[in-house]
Structure 1
Amino acid sequence: MNLDIDQYLGAMKYSIIDFEREFPDDDVCLDYIFNVRYRDYVCPLCAKKTFYRVKGRKSYACSCGHQVNPLSKTIFKNSTTSLRLWFFAMYLFSQSRHGVPAAELQRQLGVTYKTAWRIGHKIRDLMKQNMEKSEGVFELDETYVGGKQRRYISRNKKNPKKKIPVFGILKREGDVFAVVVPNTQRYTLGAYIWKIIARGSEVCTDEAGVYNNLDQRYVHHTVNHSNREYVRGSVTTNRLEGFWSFLKNAIRSTHRVVSKKYLQAYVDERVFFYNARNSDVPIFHLILQRLTR
Structure 2
Amino acid sequence: MMAKKDCSIFVIFASLLAFWIAAAGACNAEGLKMKFYKESCPQAEKIVKEIIGSRVPSNPALPAKLLRMNYHDCFVMGCDASILLDAVNNTQAEKDALPNLSLSGFDVIDDIKTQIEQVCPNTVSCADILALAARDAVSFPFNRRLWKVPTGRRDGRISLASEVTKNLPSPFSNFTTLLELFNKKDLNLNDLVLLSGAHTIGLSHCGTFSRRLYNFTGKGDQDPSLDPTYAEFLKKKCSNPANPATTVEMDPQSALSFDKNYYQTVLENKGLFQSDAALLTNRQSAKIVRHLQISTSFIAKFANSMEKMGSIEVLTGNTGEIRKQCRFAN
TM-score, structure 2 as length reference = 0.26
TM-score, structure 1 as length reference = 0.28
